[in-house]
Amino acid sequence: MANFFPRWSNWLPLKLAICSFVIVCGLTAGTWYYVTPKYTKVGYEPIQPVPFPHDVHVTQLGMDCRYCHSFVEVGAHSNVPNTQTCMSCHQQVQKDNPKLEPVRTSWKTGEPVQWVWIHRLPDYVFYNHSAHVNRGISCASCHGQINHMSVVADAKPMSMKWCLECHRNPENFLRPEDQITNLDWKPDDVNPAEFVGKYGKPAGVTEDWSKKTHLTQREIGQTLKERWNIQTSENCQACHR
């Protein structure tokens, strides 16, 4: 009886299995890497109608974030400045700069400047700026070192996993309430004696932290978390409501 199948077909099932394994793994890995916010969102740097340099305004000129984003502490939504805010300085400063033409046109015509939206969350996520910045979360935690960006880019993935990183361990990110808009703040900037005098120590810590040369982020965060009674929610409906 003749062989129905040629000889090479003996290895075919194994080859098929190995091939499909490699393809499936490759697809999974590719999706994992390329189709997540970490890849698709971070670095998004659209061209704005006016190339507003945050580094010049914040780092060189020392303006506070809240001069323009004025309602970040009271509203869920952090506003972008209206034309009037820009013009209050730029009527005197750089008043002939061609880059500011859209702002001047807007001031003349009343048509608002259309800023491209970068840090955009999906519609099914509720985020309240005031709840975060009033409780020790800095602008830099989500928006990165905007004070050194000449063109604003998305610095963090803003995925759900990333949100939960902080909601599970807020002590890794909390900082004193007067340093929220200081985007260059480091835990080393804290004077331990002053800090402990102001905020105390977490319960159960026997060591005298005020004697330490410097405090770690974790120590600062734990103190503040207890002091402000911060109970971050991991419940779905905290954000998806």
CA 35, chain centre distance (Å): 19
Q: Could you tell me which residues come within 8 angstroms of residue 225 by beta carbon, excluding any fewer than 6 positions away?
A: 170, 171, 174, 202
What's the CA angle centered on 185, arms 180 and 190, to 5 degrees? Answer: 100
- Nearer residue to other proteins within complex by CB, 146 or 215: 146
- Nearer residue to other proteins within complex by CB, 79 or 235: 79
Query: Which residue pairs, CB below 8 angstroms and at least 24 apart, start in 103-107?
Result: 103/50, 107/83
CB of 115 to other proteins, least distance (A): 5
CB of 97 to other proteins, least distance (A): 19
CB of 37 to other proteins, least distance (A): 11
CB of 105 to other proteins, least distance (A): 10
User: Smallest Cα–Cα separation from 182: which of 136, 141, 138?
Assistant: 138
What residues line the site for other proteins (CB under 8 A)? 40, 46, 71, 74-77, 79-85, 106-107, 110-117, 120
- Nearer residue to other proteins within complex by CB, 69 or 175: 69
- Nearer residue to other proteins within complex by CB, 80 or 193: 80
What's the CA angle centered on 224, arms 201 and 77, to 5 degrees? Answer: 170
